Amino acid sequence: MTPARERALAALLCAAGAALPLLAAGRAWAHVRATGAITPFTQELTGRDLGGAASALGWAGLAGLAALFATRGKVRAGVGVLLVLFGAAIGYASAASIGASHVRAAAGEKSALLRLAADTSVDVNLWWAVSLAGGLLLLAAGLVTLLRGARWPGMSTRYERPAAATARTPATADDPSSLWKSLDRGEDPTDRTDPTDPADPTDPAGPPAGAARPAAGGTHRERP
């Protein structure tokens, strides 16, 4: 597999791993039923109700996706380490949030009737597993980045223009902005001669055209 395809695969894993916890966070992860209360009722709890740590780490994973393309070398390896940590933390937060005691405590904070209920039951669905799967994908993306990211290409530089090259570009008639800049500097944009050429006959600092030049190492003497 080429380095570009490896980077694309890691980016795909990172995007999916960050998106799944964000998708699952708004879904119902658990239901608490109060069967021993005066009026039996059911409390629905989403992933955010149970802590929201997984969704917060999902946003961090999306930031890591942008860093995959913007960095290179050791910095990109550091991004891979962060993605591994984010993925592991998402998996742990997703699994820990569905514990029965944690679910009952979160439900009791939302409803005082649940705290008064003599008997409660907890039902957990599979949305927490979706968030867990996202953490695993993010962890895999981090491992691929850490192990193979050093050989991946960086961002494209075709839009970058070196300042030195820009300064050496002469004003042409095809570029109106360059013509105006030359006029502002007091230059003649139609003059193609090099002002630093000593042989230039139009150079005001040079000798007039047709004038004799003194010989090297001696003085010029006129004949009587």
| Domains identified in the chain, total number | 1
The pLDDT-based confidence of 190 (bands split at 50, 70, 90) is low
Whether residue 163 is contained in a domain is answered as no
CATH of the domain at 12: 1.20.140
Whether residue 169 is contained in a domain is answered as no
* Torsion angles phi and psi, residue 7, rounded to 5: -65, -40
Residues 6 or more apart whose Cβ sits within 8 Å of residue 93: 51, 53, 54, 57, 135
Whether residue 218 is contained in a domain is answered as no
Q: Judge whether 141 and 88 are in contact, CB under 8 Å.
A: no
pTM for the predicted model, two decimal places: 0.64
Distance CA 59, CA 53 (A): 10
Whether residue 142 is contained in a domain is answered as yes
Q: What is the structure's pLDDT at 138?
A: 95
| Tens-place pLDDT, residues 36-71 | 656 667 888 899 988 889 999 999 999 989 888 888
User: 127-148 vs 3-25: helix axis angle to the nearest 10?
Assistant: 160
- Could you tell me the residue range of the domain that residue 40 belongs to? 3-151
Whether residue 53 is contained in a domain is answered as yes
Whether residue 15 is contained in a domain is answered as yes
Q: What percent of the chain has pLDDT over 70?
A: 63
DSSP H/E element including 20:
helix 3-25
Asked if residue 90 has pLDDT above 90, the reply is yes
